Chains A and B, each alone.
Chain A
């Protein structure tokens, strides 16, 4: 895809054509879906969070659109880490766009096993999903609710990983900043936030039943953006490592806002629902337009605002 130099950057030794990242869980359970996002302008992609064993996820309904947002409880469906990494290998036959392998476990030893698998794969980064809100009835409170747990997992994975380690944080705790600091101190090379908000609940009043089969689901999309911007702003002010900001980004102006909050890159997930798969190309064009209008040379010149 033809793209201007204005959008390109180097992120941890990887050349990126633009700052847009396909986040974990959105259009990325197969090599084809990730390639489709790249074809449509994504600069980097994440593979769906993988567990040691395959998971079919929750039965439907798994999503529900509400005003300005989407609520989902997929239930961490994934083909298991081995097959997931095969998807990344196949993806790499078609594309040299960097891939983040997202992994999910509930204890340190499983995270270590996942890390060993990812070490021997063609992934470029490993991301620890410490924050899935949609399996809590199964696994209890998200791991990133406890700063000790986060520190322990990140430290263990960091000592084992051959790849840079990203920690994906939940917005649904009292002390996101403290947890971010712990993750950095434990060796995280970058932080990714936010995961979905809530969880929330929607009731079908005709059926007198929760719409989502798992009852509760994580909230994403435009309505959560102010929460994401605030947390990225606070976290990026508290740590030195790069922050990949996501949560409700839907337009080029939203990306600029996220960069001004202190993010280095911006995730675009639920916006695919609102603006189509070519949302990446549309957003890239909008970023360029903003740079042009404001006489800014490169998207990398947009820094966290001082306030």
Chain B
């Protein structure tokens, strides 16, 4: 049953790049890549991925972009929000466990990758390439709660880690063929660059994508991706590379609250 839980914010941590991480009690059966709908009953109800899962806690890492997130940023430990979920397919943890994985993350997209990295069993070999515009935007730059085979950062301006974006790092210093799977999450232009670059390799990939979401239970159709119509809230938010290649809207446009298309910069409407 689609129940909303009143959850107290237990802690708020400021992160780089104007992000904040909110800690709440874990009263759910949730896995990495899934998301929740959070409301304050005043500023809308919005989807957020879990960025860390422990047996008794869940964490959300949020960027302030508009009315709801601004309200959330004003909240502190002791305040409450109303949460329903988890929703979406999440990552296929069974498949990924124990494999050699390349994680490519950018912006708040690194949140769900962190939860996955920390969730998978220790024998999983993970290379985590974490990208941002500059040092001050870089999330989780001090690494994660678990040791990884490799954790490296890339910034566009070179102020931390390697100069360039995650794809540049891949081109210069990563042998894609030595991985079983690529898992990527971040802003859509970054995901497109990843898709384009890895298309000449045969490593299967998983992409976590976002679309404007309303009901989150698969009936309103707002987050369907053309032309297949798969719903980010039910069939997603994690899609295989094969499915992504069938979603011709990906990287080209996304729909707003009315369903009107908005084209990404550089993409043209036809």
Contacts and interface: CB of A to CB of B under 8 A. Distances in A.
Interface of A: 25-37, 39, 48, 54-57, 59-65, 67, 70, 72, 74, 77-80, 83-84, 90, 94, 204, 206-207, 209-211, 213, 269-270, 272-273, 276-277
Given A74-B220, A211-B4, A277-B231, 13 more contacts: A31-B226, A32-B224, A33-B224, A37-B229, A48-B221, A60-B39, A61-B4, A61-B39, A65-B217, A79-B255, A83-B259, A90-B227, A277-B218
Nearest to B46: A60
B150 interface: no
B45 interface: yes
B9 to A, nearest CB: 15
A35 B227 contact: yes
A62 B2 contact: no
A259 B257 CA distance: 36
A148 to B, nearest CB: 32
A55 B219 contact: no
A30 B234 contact: no
Contacts of A29: 220-222, 224, 255, 259
A36 B229 contact: yes
Interface in B211-251: 214-215, 217-222, 224-231, 234, 249
A74 B4 contact: no
A65 B234 CA distance: 16
A63 B214 CA distance: 8
A104 B220 CA distance: 17
B4 A65 contact: no
Given A60-B39, A270-B219, A30 B255 contact: yes
Given A35-B227, A37-B229, A62-B214, A54 B220 contact: no
Contacts of B258: 54-57, 77-80
Interface residues of B, number: 37
B227 A31 contact: yes
Contacts of B219: 26-27, 63, 70, 72, 269-270, 272-273
B214 A32 contact: no
A32 B225 contact: yes
A62 B39 CA distance: 11
A22 to B, nearest CB: 10
B17 to A, nearest CB: 26
A268 to B, nearest CB: 11
Given A32-B227, A62-B214, A62-B215, A57 B255 contact: no
22 contacts: A27-B229, A29-B255, A30-B224, A30-B255, A30-B259, A33-B224, A35-B227, A35-B228, A36-B228, A36-B230, A48-B259, A57-B257, A60-B46, A65-B217, A72-B215, A77-B222, A79-B258, A79-B261, A90-B226, A206-B6, A211-B4, A269-B219
B43 interface: yes
B82 interface: yes
B216 to A, nearest CB: 8
B214 A272 contact: no
Contacts of B183: none
A213 B217 contact: no
A36 B218 CA distance: 12
B177 to A, nearest CB: 34
A189 B41 CA distance: 43
Nearest to B215: A63
B65 to A, nearest CB: 15
Contacts of A60: 37, 39, 44-46, 214
B1 interface: yes
A89 to B, nearest CB: 13
B260 to A, nearest CB: 4
B157 interface: no
A72 to B, nearest CB: 7
Contacts of A62: 45, 214-215, 220
A156 B225 CA distance: 37
Which 4 A-B residue pairings sit nearest by Cβ, starting from the closest? A36-B229, A60-B45, A32-B226, A65-B2
A36 B2 CA distance: 24
Contacts of A63: 2, 214-215, 217, 219-220
A77 to B, nearest CB: 5
Contact of B41 (A36, A56, A78, A213): A213
Contacts of A34: 229
A270 to B, nearest CB: 6
Given A54-B258, A204-B41, A272 B229 contact: no
B123 interface: no
Q: Which of A25, A57, A61, A72 has the most CB of B within 10 A?
A: A61
Interface string B3-40: 01010000000000000000000000000000001010
Interface string B195-219: 0000000000000000000110111
